[in-house]
């Protein structure tokens, strides 16, 4: 059997004490290895960056991808990544976008730590072991690609959404045994990408039932220092009330290099442009979300930002990626 590279990146999974705090990896690795059954052929690695997942950004996931791509050159093709749950869906989508189908990868985490308060033994009640064992079991069975395993379920990584803050059944998405169009080619991450990613600016605006004048002012405020990507989360199927002034402001944002992407704040279902209120989209020169999830939208924007230097090229390749 091919060896599985198990990479630990932090999160509740490896925390001890009260309040919870990460155990140093050198100590945690010993306890982690002790819990892995011999039936799994595993080598354990520390991720280049171990931190609370709420503090993670693109650079942290890109350097993890670099580590995975380096391990691929050493012959590893199966990977399990332990990650915090706060941004687990973002990590999964980013790994999926950049690794494509070059390997077999499962990301997982837990709502409860693996170890007790003192870090000397396995915690009496924990979902960490179940999630880890399930991920290790599934990674050698699934086709090439990226997946997320949690609470006895495994999903296509690009489709996942966290739906509960504390319950064990905390994630949903398209199950791995269902058909799903996922990214095939991989992207080789270099050191320049790490530096470039630090400057990426994405602003997400969830529409609220406010007056048009207030919305105009919000857009006006962005013009002096626009983000690279402005994500507008409309109502329902992507509906958003606008007028000529708002369309003009969106056009101005495009002229200063900001790509606006329309999506929906509703968790499930696709953008639907049958309604008359959506006729303005072409005039405003904005893009329509065509990704699997909000995290996948982030990952796609990141990849296009790194791959192409100009907003024009990113816009041209939006529908192709």
The Cα 2–Cα 71 span in angstroms is: 13
Instruction: Provide the 3-class DSSP secondary structure of residue 115.
Output: strand
For 201-289, which CATH class?
Answer: alpha beta
- Chain centroid to CA 225: 26
Give the residue extent of every domain in the chain.
Answer: 4-172, 201-289
Give pLDDT tens digits along the chain (321 positions). Answer: 589 999 999 999 999 999 999 999 999 999 999 999 999 999 999 999 999 999 999 999 999 999 999 999 999 999 999 999 999 999 999 999 999 999 999 999 999 999 999 999 999 999 999 999 999 999 999 999 999 999 999 999 999 999 999 999 999 999 999 999 999 999 999 999 999 999 999 999 999 999 999 999 999 999 999 999 999 999 998 889 999 999 999 999 999 999 999 999 998 887 876 665 567 888 898 999 999 999 999 999 999 999 999 999 999 999 888
Do 201-289 and 4-172 have the same topology in CATH?
yes
The Cα 82–Cα 80 span in angstroms is: 7
Report the predicted TM-score, pTM, of the whole model to 2 decimal places: 0.96
pLDDT of residue 275: 60
Phi and psi of 105, rounded to 5°? -135, 135
CATH classification for the domain delimited by 4-172, as one of 2.40.10.10, 1.10.3720.10, 3.40.50.1170, 3.40.50.150: 3.40.50.1170
Q: Which residue has the tokens 């990704």?
A: 291
- Chain centroid to CA 9: 14
Whole-number CA gyration radius for the chain: 21
pLDDT of residue 282: 85
The Cα 269–Cα 237 span in angstroms is: 8
C-beta atoms surrounding 2 within 10 Å:
12
Structure tokens at 60: 């942290």
The Cα 201–Cα 268 span in angstroms is: 26
pLDDT of residue 215: 97
pLDDT of residue 268: 86
pLDDT of residue 274: 62
């Amino acid at each position: 059997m091919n060896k599985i590279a198990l990479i630990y990146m932090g999160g509740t999974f490896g925390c001890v004490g009260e309040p919870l705090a990460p155990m140093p990896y050198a100590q945690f690795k010993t306890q982690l290895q002790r819990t892995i059954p011999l039936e799994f052929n595993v080598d354990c690695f520390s991720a280049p960056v171990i931190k609370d997942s709420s503090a993670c950004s693109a650079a942290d996931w890109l350097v993890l991808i670099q580590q995975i791509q380096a391990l691929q050159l050493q012959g590893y093709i199966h990977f399990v990544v332990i990650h915090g749950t706060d941004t687990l869906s973002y990590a999964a989508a980013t790994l999926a976008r950049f690794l494509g189908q070059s390997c077999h990868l499962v990301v997982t985490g837990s709502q409860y730590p693996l170890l007790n308060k003192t870090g000397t033994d396995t915690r009496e009640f924990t979902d960490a072991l179940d999630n880890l064992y399930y991920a290790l079991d599934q990674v050698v069975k699934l086709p090439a690609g990226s997946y997320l395993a949690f609470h006895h379920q495994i999903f296509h990584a690009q489709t996942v959404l966290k739906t509960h803050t504390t319950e064990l059944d905390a994630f949903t998405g398209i199950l791995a045994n269902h058909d799903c169009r996922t990214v095939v080619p991989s992207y080789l991450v270099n050191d320049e990408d790490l530096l470039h990613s630090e400057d990426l600016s994405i602003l997400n605006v969830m529409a609220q039932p406010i007056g048009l004048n207030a919305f105009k002012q919000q857009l006006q405020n962005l013009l002096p220092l626009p983000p690279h990507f402005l994500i507008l989360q409309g109502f329902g199927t992507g509906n958003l009330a606008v007028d000529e002034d708002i369309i003009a402001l969106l056009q101005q944002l495009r002229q200063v290099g900001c790509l606006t992407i329309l999506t929906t704040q509703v968790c499930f279902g696709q953008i639907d442009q049958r309604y008359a209120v959506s006729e303005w989209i072409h005039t405003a020169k904005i893009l329509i979300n065509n990704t699997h999830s909000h995290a996948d939208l982030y990952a796609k924007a990141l990849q296009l930002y790194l791959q192409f230097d100009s907003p024009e090229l990113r816009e041209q390749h939006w529908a192709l990626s």
